Structure 1
Amino acid sequence: MATLTYQLSLLGLILCAVQLISSYSFKSCIADPYYILTSFKCKNRNNTKISDIVKDLPGSAVNLTVSFNPVQHIPNNSFAHLPNLQYLSLDKNKLSAIDPLAFQTLHQLNHLNLSFNNLSDLSPLLFQDLHNLTSLLLTNNVLKALPEDIFSNVANLKTLNLRNNNLTNFSAIVKSVSHLTSLKFLDLSSNNLTSLSDLNISLPQSLKVLDLCRNNLHTLGCNPSLLRFIQVLDLSFNSKLSTKALEGVDLRNVKRLQLRSTSVKAVEFLNISNISAGHVVFSGMGLKNDSLLIDLCTMLRRKRSWIKNIDLTHNGIHNATNSTFSVCPQIIGALDLSNNDLNKVHCLDFLGKQVGIKKFNAEHNHITSLESCKTINFNNLKELSYRYNRILSVSGYAFSHMPKIETLKLNINNIAFLHRKALRGLKNLKTLRLDNNLLTDLFNDTFKDNYNLQILNLRNNRISVIFNETFMNLRNLITLDLGGNKITQIHPSGLDGLRSLSKFYLDGNNLKQIDSSLYHAFQDTLTVLDLQKNFIRFYKESVISPFVNLSKLSDLKLDSQRNYGLVVLPKNFFKGLHSLESLYLTNNKIDFLPPEAFDDLTSLKFLTLDNCCVGVAQLKPGVFKNLRNLTRLVVENMGIQNFSKDVFGNLTKLRMLQLNRNVMQSISVDALESLPKLHYLDMRNVPLSCTCKNSLLQNYTVNNPNVQIVYLYEMKCQVDKKQKFHNFDTKVCYIDQGKYLFFSTAAVIFLFTVSPLLYVKLYWKIKYSYYVFRSWFSDHWRRLREKEEKCAYDAFISYNFSDEEWVMNQLLPNLEGNGSSFKLCLHHRDFEVGRYIVDNIVTAVYSSRKTICVVSKNFLRSEWCSLEIQLASYRLFDEHRDVLLLVFLEPISERQLSSYHRMRKVMLKKTYLQWPGPDCTDPSQAQELFWNQLRRAIRAGNRLETEQNDPDEDFARASNETGNYEKLLSDDEYYLQP
């Protein structure tokens, strides 16, 4: 009930913490994504103050590890804001001082680790608030003593580890722990204790394990009953400790006593001690010859009739004869002869009648070979280990004398020859370790009798070919490890018979392709397949999937293909892997990830592409479209330029995303928000720009309470390394949108209202001004004004091409011929070739004393003609120069002229000429008068003085010279119009 109440209160704290904090990112710590806001690791930070490391952690924290930091001092109340801590590890820092109230308020703390620091002394009040502390680790410090009352308030302490300090006073230690009624484990190894003088102070009765190895004990000197409740006692590596030092000490309850590398003599000790002989570990007690071993066995037989385990490691035993263990009581458990100097084992003949033995270890010896053994002696032996020897060969029937063996360890030897019948008779064998040897060949009858084998480890040998039917009889094999060999080829039926295989390791071989035998060998069994570090490589995008029948495969490793990597990942390569949960593709040089590559991986939960595709411009949309069960994605160092919703939007269950060392300068917040389950985002070493395009991203990282950005507050801006991404200035990125929208809308409405009016009223004025400005800009304006007084032409003729016949047949002969000396400027004749037509028109107007506009209905419809009359009228009205002459070829009504405001203004100010039509009374005389008046108008000056001269008078004088003006005026009223 109390546990349930505590869990509910903790859940409430977590919910409150989620509501109160504005960010799920921390300055110096990383939260475990699978334990939301309860577990944190703060490692390898450069902060020297513990407060800077943990100050931003929420009160809901339960587990906290602060390691590998340069922290030297922990002040009072450093963890006051973390009252729910249960596990606190401060190991591997540089702590030299901890204030008395540093752990105040940590009433829930169960485990405290202060190991691997520089602590030399502790305050008596240091642990006073740790009422629920059960485990305290202080290993590898420089403590010289413990305050007497330091553990007065930690009554629940069960484990106290003081290994590798400088403690010298055992009595003071006993006094400090004597009241700990729950203490079970006390480690005082590797200190400077010289004796166990206790001053009649007893160890807690609850204490069961006491480790005193690697001290300087030469005598115990303690109350005989001091150790009466200890069950495991280690006195090893106290070289000065003698047999006499243990005389009279009550060891009756000790279940395991280690005396390695002491001066205690085994037989003498058993004579004076009340310990059960079977509970003494005889490792390293100098029992190096038959005589000593026989004496020991005689003593053991006298003590009791049988014994379970005998540990004779580290005794320097060189040889054992048939009589060595004959006098020993029956061993019904394990015999360990590891770390001795044995050269041969002689089919275990030296064990004599010890046929009840179940486990035999002879590791770390000098055995060079295993001979054939034809006699069955050890029917009860289940486990045999010859690891770490120098075995070169194993003969046939080498283990026939132990047919019931289940575990055989021959690994880490030099076995180059394994007889094809070496394992004959081992029908109960379940685990076989042959890894780290020199085997080159396996034969189809090597494992003939091992049909119950479940684990076969052949890693790190020199096997190059798997021949047909090599594993034919291993129908119950679950794990096959062939990693680290030189396999280049697997014969077509090389994997036949492996009906139950679940885990298959082929990593570190020389395979260039995935063998076709995989297509059919493991249809319904294989769950783990390791193919990393081979030479597998593809050159085309379409291949037959080698995994199409592996419907149960859940873990596939293809990372680090050697030399060139996979190069191409075929689009249907993973077809059929509907149960795959983990896929490793790191460290491959894949040129292109097809959008269909992962379509069949609907159950995938973990995918790592770290460093697999460096140089890929971007991931294609839809490449992760079917990975809706993916919870962790590693895409580090892939050269990703864009993080888009089209690529990552379907990962609806993704919890962890690692984007380290990519090249995108911005990340779309929409893409991140499309990942509703995301809790962990690592984008360190990504060159995010501190500009407005990342203002939304900054807000997302700082204020999102659900997504942890790893070391967010350490992320720097790329341009200015002194500026941090989380607080770069974004004020200029946010504007009063309402105000700007109002002014923008008002301006647009005004423009739409005024533009039509300007178009109607000022269209030609603006257009003319533009052309004049262009001419001025290109230096034409200056040159034209300079030539104005010295005009190149008498008149520029502006006409429409439809009136060209009249101009060429009538105008040109009468003004340039018939004795006239006028020089006219015509389009087709005098315009400069290759020049802009506008520039030609401007030059023609300003290089002529007059501009004659031949007006007709077609003329009024011509844009170029309109421009020409506009230019001329500009000189007439704005420069006050009489340069414009209007000649109407045909009658044009007022209605047709109503839209030409500029021309009507000219007609109101100046007299214009009308070409006599065919219905005139005397056309030839009227035309003669027309040409005379036009010549006179061309000769007239171009200075317009409206106040002194009346142009109509000049016109009348010119007409009177012919003597027919009045008559013509009465005959044809429309010829001259004022």
Structure 2
Amino acid sequence: MVENRRSFTNSFFCSCVFIITLWNYIKLSDEYEFIAKYSSTVPEDHFYYETKNLPPSHEKRPDNRINHSSWDVVHNTSDSLELSNISENSINDLIQLLSTFNKTSKIKKLTLTNIKTPWKSFIKFLQIVWQTSIEYFNINNIKLLSHIEKQIFNYSDTSMKALTIKNVSIEIFYFSQNDLYSIFSEMNTEALTISDSKIIHMLCPSKPSIFQVLNFSNNDLTDMVFEDCENLFLLETLILQKNQLKKLSKVSSMTSKMKSLKYLDISRNLLYINENGNHCNWIQTLAKLNLSSNKLTDSVFGCLPINVQILDLQNNLIRTVPKDVAELKALKELNIAFNGLTELPGCNHFRGLEFLNIEENSILTPSSDFFHSCQNIRELRGGHNPFQCSCELRDFINFEKKSGGRLIGWPESYVCEYPDGLKGTQLKDFHLSELSCNTTLLLIIAIVVTVLVVAVTSFLCIYFDIMWYLKMMWQWAQTKRRVRYTHPEDLQNILQFHAFISYSERDSLWVKSHLIPNLEKEDGSVQICLHERNFVPGKSIVENIINCIEKSHKSIFVLSPNFVQSEWCHYELYFAHHKLFSESSNSLILILLEPIPQYLIPARYHKLKALMAKRTYLEWPKEKSKHGLFWSNLKAAININLPVSAKDNTINI
């Protein structure tokens, strides 16, 4: 109970002090008007003050003085203070105000905004703050007036940890750069920021510095900054974003003596690297490097710190990742978005890569090498590329299915661009069958089908004797060619015979004893072509057969089981059948000497089967009484008046 009462009493006392103090602030209406803000989200009272200039009439009042007893309460109860809109006429009062601070003040953070001050006054209040309890000093929008000249600055006995100066403007154009930069280069703070100020150089500290963080972003620094600087061996973070740096090799040499450097941001500069390659000499401790928004090409991969872990190369001119780059074993994160990549880089040189960003490139179909080599990828940003939806994209889609969410932005950012028929289709809705994309399977099926086609074709060729017919066609064509180039006097384009007789030698007895005597007349009015008497010596058998068939009005085939066993009879039947179709004639006469069972007719004699099925044939009667009618019908079929010239030439063709 006693402790609770004491706690209540202390709280009540603090509240009373706070109310009295706040009332004093509200009553202050001299040169500054203070607006107190209290934040209940922190354990102690935090007041932020904004100074506003009052009308000039107030400035002329002789009693315009700050109540320093009230300020004693401020810097003993708050740890953060902000003053703004400080004119040149108010600088002395500001200096007087800051002079009330000391090492015992509770204020740790001071912010000055919108200041106009002479150079000497700036150094003066900076010196005062340097030796107070303030650890973080921010100056925003400051305009330096009057001439800049060398000033003595005491850096000892300070609590300052970080000084931040943003948006500095200088009205004086002619001054010694060393007088300006030497003040900042020798500061004994852990962090220094001078940004948005168009400074063109920064001196190297003259002695070993305790700087751990330097931020000189959005200035006009060149490659000469910190050249051959050996006193920044404690520096861990260096930010030179948005300056005028050009040669990457010189920037790498700058870091070579910064023994503790871990993070370097040189983005948004004009950096390039010669295609011939420059020697790069990075400090080995560098783990995080930001090279985004420069003019770097593929050659940059030959000029990278070997131990880098996080690398940002977005928004450059990179088209591909070379195959012969040095292996970056420590690299875990690679950002290569907004370039001109046409394929995913493999991880053969980045074995430890866990995060990859390749958004906004020109990747049509990710290479299969990526999926085999990048086994450790935990997150991949690959959206907003003009994907060509084809078989090659199936591995990429399967990567998402198997990875379980490793593709960041899936499925909204992954859309087909080509072909036109699939434009706008999300990759998750794009499907192709295994058969249409599996080259090995497709090749096996093609081979099997080819083998089957060859086997079936071979079987049909053998069964129907296709090769035999091809051979006959070739011989027919050769004979026709020879006839075409023969002299006209050697050609006889008129019929010379009434009939050509085709028969088997085994049936020659019937042909010579019955057929020939009954057809040929003693007066020679009927001419019969027989191979043994009318074939021309010196010509091939096939040529003689063709000539006899073409010079004969009819072709008589004596059919019997012996006929279907004769190879030459088959030739004669083939060429006669060819003439039947080529000349649209009715030149075939079939005499069935003996019945022929269908099973005796070979498969290659399908023309004979077709002729016997479609055409009328004469059947040799066994009864003698019917022989007269048979010969009458046969003579009538071959009856034709041959030209005289043909009758005169009965032997030679």
TM bucket, shorter chain: 0.5 to 0.7
Pick from 594, 615, 637 the counterpart of residue 322 of structure 2: 594
Deviations along 1:845-892, whole A, 9 cap, x unmatched?
77975899xxxxxxxxxx9999787333555899873599xxxxxxxx
Q: What is the aligned counterpart of 1:396 among 150, 154, 170?
A: 150
The amino acid across from 1:338 in the alignment is S
Q: Residues 429-466 of structure 1, C-alpha deviation per residue, up to 9 Å, x if partnerless? A: 3333332223334455xx32672333333322333351
Q: Conserved in 2, the CA contact under 8 Å of 1:584 and 1:607? A: yes
1:672-720 Cα offsets, whole Å, 9 max, x none, are 55675452323545554999xxxxxxxxxxxxxxxxxxxxxxxxx9559
Using the TM superposition, give the Cα deviation of residue 521 of structure 1 relative to its aligned residue in structure 2, in angstroms.
1.1
Aligned residues of 2:219 and 2:243 also touching (Cα < 8 A)? yes
What percentage of aligned pairs have identical amino acids? 17
Give 1:454's aligned residue: 212
Name which of 258, 280, 290 aligns with 1:546.
280
Residue 406 of structure 2: which of 675, 680, 691 is its match? 680
Matches of 2:603 and 2:28, distance apart in 1: 130
Indicate yes or no: 2:75 matched with 1:309. Answer: yes
1:896-975 equivalent positions in 2, closer than 5 A: none
The amino acid of 1:354's aligned partner reads T
Q: Which position in structure 1 is the counterpart of 2:576?
A: 872
Which residue of 2 is the match for residue 659 of structure 1? 382
Q: 2:462 maps to what in 1?
A: 760
Residue 192 of structure 2: which of 407, 432, 457 is its match?
Answer: 432
Distance 1:334 1:751 in 2: 90
Contact 1:881/1:944 (8 A) holds in 2: no
1:473 matched to 2:235? The reply is: no
Aligned pairs for 1:519-918 within 5 A: 521-522=256-257, 525-537=260-272, 540=275, 543=277, 546=280, 550-562=283-295, 565-566=296-297, 568-569=298-299, 572-574=302-304, 577=306, 579-597=307-325, 600-613=327-340, 616=342, 618-619=343-344, 623-662=346-385, 663-666=387-390, 668-671=393-396, 673=398, 677-681=403-407, 682-684=410-412, 686-688=414-416, 719=422, 758-764=460-466, 870-873=574-577, 881-882=587-588
User: Do the aligned partners of residues 851 and 462 (structure 1) sit closer, same or farther apart at CA in structure 2, a change above 3 Å counting?
Assistant: farther
Tell me the distance in 1 between the aligned counterparts of 2:149 and 2:546: 113
- 8 A Cα contact 1:842 1:871, kept in partner: yes
Tell me by how many angstroms 1:656 deviates: 2.3
Structure 2 distance, partners of 1:526, 1:745, is 62
- The whole-number CA distance in structure 2 between the counterparts of 1:553 and 1:901 is 86
Which residue identity does 1:665 align to in structure 2? Answer: C
Gaps of 5+ in 2: 1-10, 35-44, 437-445, 478-491, 501-526, 529-533, 540-544, 557-566, 591-600, 621-628, 636-653
Q: Is the 8 A contact 1:514 1:546 kept in 2?
A: yes
Structure with higher Rg: it is 2
When normalised by structure 2's length, the TM-score is 0.56
Distance 1:343 1:553, change over 3 A: same
1:483 maps to 2:241: yes
Q: Does 1:365 align with 2:100?
A: no
Residue 369 of structure 2 aligns to a residue in which SS?
helix
CA shift in 2, pair 1:864/1:388, >3 Å: farther
Structure 1's 333 and 419: CA in aligned 2 closer, same or farther, altered over 3 A?
Answer: farther
2:100 to 329, 346, 354: 354
Take 1:522 and 1:672, find their aligned partners in 2: how far apart are those partners? 47
Change (3 A) 1:643 1:881: same
State the SS of the aligned residue for 1:593. Answer: coil
Deviation at 1:367, TM superposition (A): 1.5
C-alpha distance in structure 2 between counterparts of 1:644 and 1:763, whole Å: 52
Deviation digits for residues 300-353 of structure 1 (CA, Å, limit 9, x no counterpart): 49xxxx545189xxxxxxxxxxxxxxxxxxxx9777543333447469763596
Q: Which residue of 1 aligns with 2:140?
A: 387
Structure 2 residue matching 1:583: 3-state secondary structure? strand
In 1, Cα distance between equivalents of 2:211 and 2:22? 37
Match for residue 67 of structure 2? 296
SS at match of 2:113: coil
Contact 2:243 2:269 in 1 (8 A): no
Root-mean-square deviation (CA, aligned residues, Å) is 6.4
Cα distance change, pair 476–592 in 1 and its aligned pair in 2 (3 A): closer
| Partner Cα separation in structure 2 for residue 435 and residue 901 of structure 1 | 99
Paired letter, 1:664? Q
Q: Which amino acid aligns with 2:190?
A: K
Contact 1:366 1:389 in 2 (8 A): yes
Aligned partner of 2:168 in structure 1 is 413
Aligned partners of 1:551, 1:720: CA distance in 2, in Å? Answer: 47
**How does 1:54-69 map onto structure 2 within 5 Å?**
none
2:365 partner amino acid: N
SS at match of 1:338: strand
How far apart are residue 390 of structure 1 and its match? 0.7
Q: Given the superposition, is the C-alpha separation of residues 761 and 636 from structure 1 closer, same or farther in structure 2, using an over 3 Å criterion? A: same
Q: 1:608 to 1:731 in 2, by over 3 A?
A: closer
- Look up the SS of the partner of 2:293 in the other structure: coil
Q: Which secondary structure state, in structure 1, belongs to the residue aligned with residue 144 of structure 2?
A: coil
Aligned partners of 1:553 and 1:375: how far apart in 2?
A: 33
SS of the equivalent of 2:370 reads: helix
Contact 1:791/1:849 (8 A) holds in 2 = no
Task: Please name the residue that 1:123 is paired with.
Answer: none
Cα distance in structure 2, aligned partners of 1:639 and 1:844: 76
Say if 1:653 and 1:677, in contact at 8 Å, map to a contact too. no
The answer to whether the 8 Å contact 2:87/2:116 transfers is yes
Deviation at 1:651, TM superposition (A): 2.0
| SS of match in other structure, 2:268 | coil
Q: Give distance in 1, aligned partners of 2:218 and 2:201.
A: 13
Cα deviation per residue 1:522-545 (whole Å; 9 max; x = unaligned)?
A: 5853322334334444564x7356
Residue 466 of structure 2 aligns to a residue whose secondary structure is helix
Residues 374 and 401, structure 1, Cα contact 8 Å, conserved in 2: no
Q: What SS class does the counterpart of residue 514 from structure 1 fall into?
A: helix
Could you tell me which amino acid in structure 2 is paired with residue 521 of structure 1?
S
Distance in 1 between the 2:586 and 2:286 partners? 97
Within 2, Cα distance between the matches of 1:527 and 1:481?
11
Measured in 2, the distance between the counterparts of 1:349 and 1:400 equals: 17
**Is the Cα–Cα contact under 8 Å of residues 528 and 553 in structure 1 kept in the other structure?**
yes
Do the aligned partners of residues 844 and 684 (structure 1) sit closer, same or farther apart at CA in structure 2, a change above 3 Å counting?
farther
Write the deviation string for residues 219-245 of structure 1: whole angstroms up to 9, x where unpaired: xxxxxxxxx9798xxxxxxxxxxxxxx
Which AA in structure 2 matches 1:434? I
Q: Structure 1 residues 346 and 448 mapped into 2: Cα distance closer, same or farther (>3 Å)? A: farther
What is the correspondence of 1:71-110 to structure 2 with a 5 Å cutoff?
none
Aligned 8 A contact 1:377 1:401 in 2: no
CA distance in 2, matches of 1:230, 1:842: 137
Q: Secondary structure at the match of 1:647?
A: helix
Correspondence 1:16-55 to 2 at 5 A: none
Gaps of 5+ in 1: 1-227, 232-249, 271-277, 312-331, 487-508, 692-716, 735-743, 776-789, 798-820, 830-840, 853-862, 885-897, 910-942, 955-978
Once residues 868 and 525 of structure 1 are traced to their aligned partners in structure 2, the CA distance between those partners, rounded to angstroms, is 103
Structure-2 change in CA distance of 1:610 and 1:595 (3 Å)? same
